[in-house]
Structure formats: structure tokens, C-alpha cells
């Protein structure tokens, strides 16, 4: 595995998970001149899996350009994107508290998919993987949903929840990759880093 990589993600969880893997990294974040949000636009008829992989690839291309433009030393660049899907419906990050309530009402009592795509680029070489897991929420009452949203935790999270936070009290079952649900599947990430050596 590489002794050092760039992480093109604002997620503190992804940074913590890379540290858990023993991978030294430095953040390579978009500047104000970049329209990073537009990369996450969902195309009509696009499946959740196609969407998350396309968005991750676009983020990686932007980050590779960023490294070059800033004249930073060469090292692998890692990007990831997580999306929550109930059937073919994608639940991105909530726009506001009302949007978070709407999402959690839809996920309550249901099993949904969590897809995290990871892409790593070095020079012209790009390696990509996608982890798919399932999360089952117990039925949540209106007051439980509103109390959780009031905690502020759902904001900035795909599907309006964090598996490693307060939401764990409402999750009855998980299958797949716990770290993938958190935002960076460590097994797939380690395999991708190995493939670049």
C-alpha cells in the first residue's frame, strides 16, 4: 500500500477510516473557483449504482486536475461518494430539516441500499470499486424522527443519517460493509491501493 495519498473529501469519517488503515494522507479539497456541487447532479433514469460511480469518477478527474494545477508532488488521489437508495429512488444529503424529516419518514421501517464508490488515480491509472450494503430501519415515530433531525446529525449526510451516530438506536439490521456505510469501504480501498503498486 502507498505510504501517502491525497484525500479529495471533506468527510472527517473518511479521513478517520484512512488513518485506521494506516494510510497517511493530506486533504486535497476543491477551491472556491470549483463548482463541486454540480458534479453530484442526478441524471434522469440513472440507476443509483451508475450515479454513484459516475459522480465519484468525475470527482476524481477534478481532484487530479487540482493536484496538477497546485503543483503538488505526485501521489495517488482518492475520491469517494456515498448514496442511499430505496429501490431506484436516491436520497442525497438533505437540503434542510424538513427534507431530512421527509427522507427519514420514507426510510422508517424499510430496508434500503447504501452504495459507496471509491476511485483512486495515479498518473493515467485509475482504479475504481463500489461497495453495496443494506440497512434496515425500525419503524420510527414522528417524534423520534423530529428529535433526531433536531440533533443536527442528519445534515450533510446521504439519506439524512449517520450509521455511527445517534441513528444506530433505530437501525435493526445491517448487511454488507459497515465502513462502506460510513463512507469508505476499507476492504475495497485497501485492494485498490494495492492494485496501484
Give pLDDT, residue 42: 83
The catalytic position among 81, 96, 98, 99 is: 81
Give pLDDT, residue 32: 83
Q: At a CB cut-off of 8 Å and minimum separation 6, what does 108 contact?
A: 137, 138, 139, 140, 145, 170
Give pLDDT, residue 3: 78
Give pLDDT, residue 2: 66
Quick one: average pLDDT of 9-20?
94
Say if residue 1's pLDDT is above 70. no
Quick one: average pLDDT of 122-150?
96
CA dist 163 and 89 (Å) reads 20
81 part of the active site: yes
Q: What is the CATH number of domain 4-195?
A: 3.90.950.10
pLDDT band at 109 (very low <50, low <70, confident <90, very high): very high
Can you read off the three cell numbers belonging to residue 188? Answer: 475495497
Q: Which of 187, 84, 101 is nearest to 144 (CA)?
A: 101
Quick one: average pLDDT of 115-138?
96
What is the residue-averaged pLDDT of the chain? 94
- Bridge partner residues of 81 (DSSP): 117
Burial 30-41 (b: 16+ CB within 10 A, else e): beeeeebeebee
Quick one: average pLDDT of 135-157?
97
Q: What is the DSSP string of 71-137?
A: TPPP--EEEEEEEEEETTEEE-S-SSHHHHHHHHHHHTT-EEEEEEEEEEEETTEEEEEEEEEEEEE
Q: What is the pLDDT of residues 62-108, one digit of tens each?
A: 999 999 999 999 999 999 999 999 999 999 999 999 999 999 999 99
Can you read off the three cell numbers belonging to residue 51? Answer: 450515479
Burial 118-132 (b: 16+ CB within 10 A, else e): bbbbbeeebbbbbbb
Q: What is the pLDDT of residues 21-67, one digit of tens each?
A: 999 999 999 988 887 777 788 888 899 999 999 999 999 999 999 99
Quick one: average pLDDT of 103-120?
98
Cα R_g (the chain), whole angstroms: 17
Pairing of strands 111-122, 89-91: unpaired
CA dist 83 and 89 (Å) reads 10
pTM over 0.85: yes
Q: Which of 188, 175, 77, 74 is nearest to 130 (CA)?
A: 188
Q: H or E stretch including 4? A: strand 4-7
Q: At a CB cut-off of 8 Å and minimum separation 6, what does 43 contact?
A: 51, 54
Amino acid at each position: 500500500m502507498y505510504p501517502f495519498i491525497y484525500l479529495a473529501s471533506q468527510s472527517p469519517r473518511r479521513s478517520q477510516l484512512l488513518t485506521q488503515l494506516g494510510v497517511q494522507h493530506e486533504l486535497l479539497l476543491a477551491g472556491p473557483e470549483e463548482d463541486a456541487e454540480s458534479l453530484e447532479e442526478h441524471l434522469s433514469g440513472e440507476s443509483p449504482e451508475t450515479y454513484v460511480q459516475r459522480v465519484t469518477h468525475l470527482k476524481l478527474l477534478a481532484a487530479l486536475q487540482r493536484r496538477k494545477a497546485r503543483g503538488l508532488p505526485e501521489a495517488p488521489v482518492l475520491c469517494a461518494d456515498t448514496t442511499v437508495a430505496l429501490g431506484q429512488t436516491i436520497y442525497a444529503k438533505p437540503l434542510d430539516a424538513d427534507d431530512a424529516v421527509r427522507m427519514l419518514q420514507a426510510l422508517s421501517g424499510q430496508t434500503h441500499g447504501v452504495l459507496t464508490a471509491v476511485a483512486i488515480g495515479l498518473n493515467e491509472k485509475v482504479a475504481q470499486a463500489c461497495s453495496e450494503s443494506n440497512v434496515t430501519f425500525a419503524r420510527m415515530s414522528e417524534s423520534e424522527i423530529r428529535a433526531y433531525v433536531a440533533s443536527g446529525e442528519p445534515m450533510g449526510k446521504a439519506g439524512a443519517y449517520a450509521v455511527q451516530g445517534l441513528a444506530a438506536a433505530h437501525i435493526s439490521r445491517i448487511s454488507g460493509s459497515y465502513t462502506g456505510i460510513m463512507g469508505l469501504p476499507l476492504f475495497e480501498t485497501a485492494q485498490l491501493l494495492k492494485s496501484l503498486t
